């Protein structure tokens, strides 16, 4: 009996340590997933309204199969409770496949696929996060309506500070994101919390 208990304990420990903390889950489409991402019909106007009804902002994220930076974003940033909790509280995030065929309806009403939307909107890097306005703009495309776009992979504080800057509507004020970010980095340095960049 003792043998079986030890064997069970050893196997259990091996299973727990085999998958590192923060390991991203991969979907059938080859993209890494978060259980708090929102699945929608990808109607941009509808998604902005749904986010607003829930007291949030819409952020769409373009990723692609095999993207090492997307994987790092999921494993290092979106698995960090400070980052994930802030985003979940303030944003509705919808994932797009840069080379996907799912239907998308742009703000101007044009019906596209995910890949043709990426081309139309000029997105070429993954991950690319697009932050949309609080209200549906009149006949505009996503690329014209976006209040901020974050193309590529960044460290924790740049990543989180962009979400904070958008949430605080920094794009409406005089403090450019880079100045906002520098100020926040100095505050973190003073608090002794500068651990990720």
Going along the chain from its start, the domains and CATH numbers come out as: 20-153 (3.40.30.10)
Is pLDDT above 80 for 123? yes
Give the per-residue pLDDT at 23. 55
Parallel/antiparallel/unpaired status of strands 103-105 and 111-113: antiparallel
Determine if residue 138 is left, alpha or beta; phi over 0 gives left, psi from -120 to 50 gives alpha, anything else beta: beta
Q: What is the pLDDT of residue 195?
A: 64
Number of CB atoms found within 10 A of residue 120's CB: 16
- Residue 143's alpha-carbon distances to 81, 132, 168, in angstroms, are 30, 9, 21
Residue 83 pLDDT greater than 70, yes or no? yes
Q: Band the pLDDT of 197: cuts 50, 70, 90.
A: low
Asked whether residue 3 carries a pLDDT value surpassing 70, the answer given is no
pLDDT for residue 138 is more than 90: no
Please compute the mean of the pLDDT values over residues 86-107 and round it to a whole number.
98
Sorting pLDDT into bands at 50, 70 and 90, what band is 194? confident
Average pLDDT over residues 142-160: 96
């Amino acid at each position: 009996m003792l043998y079986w208990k030890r064997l069970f304990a050893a196997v259990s420990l091996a299973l727990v340590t085999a998958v590192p903390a923060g390991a991203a889950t991969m979907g059938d489409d080859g993209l890494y997933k978060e259980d708090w991402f929102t699945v929608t019909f990808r109607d941009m106007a509808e998604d902005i309204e749904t986010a607003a009804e829930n007291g949030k902002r819409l952020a769409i994220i373009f990723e692609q199969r095999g993207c090492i930076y997307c994987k790092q974003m999921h494993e290092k940033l979106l698995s960090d409770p400070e980052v994930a909790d802030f985003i979940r509280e303030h944003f509705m995030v919808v994932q797009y496949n840069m080379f996907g065929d799912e239907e998308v309806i742009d703000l101007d009403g044009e019906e596209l696929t995910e890949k043709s939307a990426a081309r139309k909107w000029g997105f070429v890097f993954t991950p690319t996060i697009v932050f949309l306005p609080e209200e549906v703009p009149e006949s505009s495309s996503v690329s014209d309506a976006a209040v901020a776009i974050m193309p590529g992979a960044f460290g924790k504080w740049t990543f989180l500070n962009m979400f904070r800057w958008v949430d605080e509507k920094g794009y409406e004020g005089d403090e450019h994101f880079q100045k906002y970010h520098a100020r926040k980095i100095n505050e973190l340095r003073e608090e002794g919390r500068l651990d990720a960049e």
